[in-house]
Amino acid sequence: MTTFKTEAELLQNWANILFENNKQQDRLNNVPLTISEMPQIVEQIKELKTRPCGRVD
């Protein structure tokens, strides 16, 4: 099992996983996520997690 000493290491690992799973031309077009994009993804996940069930934007 891989362990991460810092949050940055954890986020980089997650970025690598997201890239490997979404690098197709119609998704990431074989371009890895940048470090500045990861906080945006985290915020989107937080928004989904805190949104009340049934709410549609």
Instruction: Judge whether 23 lies within some domain.
Output: yes
Residues 1-43: tens digit of each pLDDT: 788 899 889 889 999 999 999 999 999 999 999 888 989 999 9
Asked if the structure places residue 54 within a domain, the reply is: no
State which residues form the domain around 37.
7-49
Rounded CA separation 44/57 (Å): 13
pTM of the model: 0.71
How many domains does one find in the chain? Answer: 1
Any domain includes 2: no
> How far is Cα 13 from Cα 11, in angstroms, rounded to an integer?
5
- Does 30 map to a domain? yes
Residue 27 lies in a domain: yes
Q: Is 42 a domain residue?
A: yes
pLDDT computed for residue 2 by the predictor: 80
- Say if 55 falls within a structural domain: no
Give me the pLDDT at residue 57, please.
59
In a domain, 20, yes or no: yes
Whether 53 shows a pLDDT value over 70: the answer reads: no
Amino acid 28: pLDDT: 92
